[in-house]
């Protein structure tokens, strides 16, 4: 599960990174400190092609060998926490079953004690789940941002070398994202992944990748066990 908040953070990271790398540098004004000879403005690559392409930025980051490797490591890191949360959830479930089956047989004091115990354990469980969710999301964001900084220049260079004047991000499906539909022939995701894998020299992880890790959802009073974190399953767009 990926929260709306995490999507916003990733979107901001994508926009900032590609804007810094791909926009055409404008001329600095004479009064600007950056325009002095001792501190000239940094040159930025110019995209002047006419073709339009598409890339799933999240798919490229989490689908490359490095991203898959790090997400699998993240999954393994939180397996003990997952087991701990499952145990807490099972204890809570047992207490709720006890309340359901013995409610009419317990004294008022015993019933009040049991309800208080359930309430206390429920709050503790929900707090633990929320903390774990935030930790996992922070780790996901760190992995995404770190790899994006290395993938982004390859996207810019690929666009320059292949005559692209615009690359759209298809990470989010419409209506959450701006792109209604994009043909597979426009997609450069796998091409960028292949280039990055070759340049990084990082081998593919030994284990197969399943969906991205997701911290368990805070309980709303039910007894379902929290979702297990999992490594990413990258999309496989067509090569350009």
pLDDT one-digit tens code per residue, 19-50: 444 443 333 433 334 444 445 444 556 777 78
pLDDT classification of 136: cutoffs 50, 70, 90: very high
Amino acid 212: pLDDT: 53
Ordered DSSP codes for 38-90: TSPPPP-------EEEEE-HHHHHHHSHHHHHHHHHHHHHTHHHHHHHHHHHH
* Domain boundaries, given as residue ranges, for the chain: 4-25+43-200
Place of tokens 């280039």: 195
pLDDT classification of 226: cutoffs 50, 70, 90: very low
Query: 8: exposed, middle or buried (C-beta count within 10 Å: 0-12, 13-18, 19+)?
Result: exposed
Whole-model pTM: value is 0.66
Q: E strands, the chain, where?
A: 51-55, 164-169
Amino acid 150: pLDDT: 96
Q: What is the pLDDT of residues 59-115, one digit of tens each?
A: 999 999 999 999 999 999 999 999 999 999 999 999 999 988 888 888 889 889 999
Q: What angle do CA 209, 211, 214 make, to 5 degrees?
A: 125
C-alpha 212, offset from chain centre:
7
Q: What is the mean pLDDT of the chain?
A: 77
Read off the DSSP letter of residue 186: G
Residue 96, classed as helix, strand or coil, is: helix
Residue 166, classed as helix, strand or coil, is: strand
Packing angle, helices 65-77 and 79-102, rounded to 10: 50
Which residues are bridge partners to 169 per DSSP?
55
| Total Cβ atoms within 10 A of residue 49 | 15
Distances 95 to 119, 136, 173 between C-alpha atoms, Å:
10, 28, 42
Tokens standing for residue 193: 């992944």
Tokens standing for residue 1: 């599960």
Residues near 194 by Cβ (< 8 Å), separated by ≥ 6?
Answer: 239
Q: Do residues 160 and 69 lie in contact, with contact meaning Cβ atoms separated by under 8 Å?
A: no
């Amino acid at each position: 599960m990926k929260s709306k908040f995490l999507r916003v953070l990733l979107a901001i990271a994508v926009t900032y990174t590609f804007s810094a790398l791909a926009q055409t540098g404008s001329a600095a004004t004479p009064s600007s400190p950056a325009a002095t000879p001792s501190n000239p403005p940094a040159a930025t690559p110019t995209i002047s092609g006419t073709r339009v392409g598409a890339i799933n930025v999240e798919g490229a980051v989490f689908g490359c060998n490095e991203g898959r490797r790090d997400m699998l490591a993240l999954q393994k890191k939180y397996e003990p926490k997952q087991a701990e949360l499952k145990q807490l959830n099972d204890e809570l479930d047992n207490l709720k079953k006890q309340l359901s089956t013995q409610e009419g047989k317990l004294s008022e004091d015993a019933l009040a004690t049991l309800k208080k115990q359930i309430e206390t354990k429920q709050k503790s469980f929900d707090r633990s789940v929320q903390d774990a969710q935030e930790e996992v999301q922070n780790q996901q964001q760190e992995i995404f941002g770190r790899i994006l900084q290395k993938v982004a220049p390859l996207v810019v260079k690929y666009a320059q070398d292949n005559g692209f004047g615009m690359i759209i991000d298809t990470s989010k499906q419409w209506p959450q994202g701006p792109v209604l539909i994009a043909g597979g022939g426009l997609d450069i995701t796998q091409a960028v992944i292949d280039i990055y894998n070759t340049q990084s020299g990082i081998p593919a992880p030994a284990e197969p990748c399943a969906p991205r890790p997701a911290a368990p959802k805070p309980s709303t009073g039910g007894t379902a066990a929290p979702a297990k974190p999992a490594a990413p399953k990258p999309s496989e767009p067509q090569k350009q």
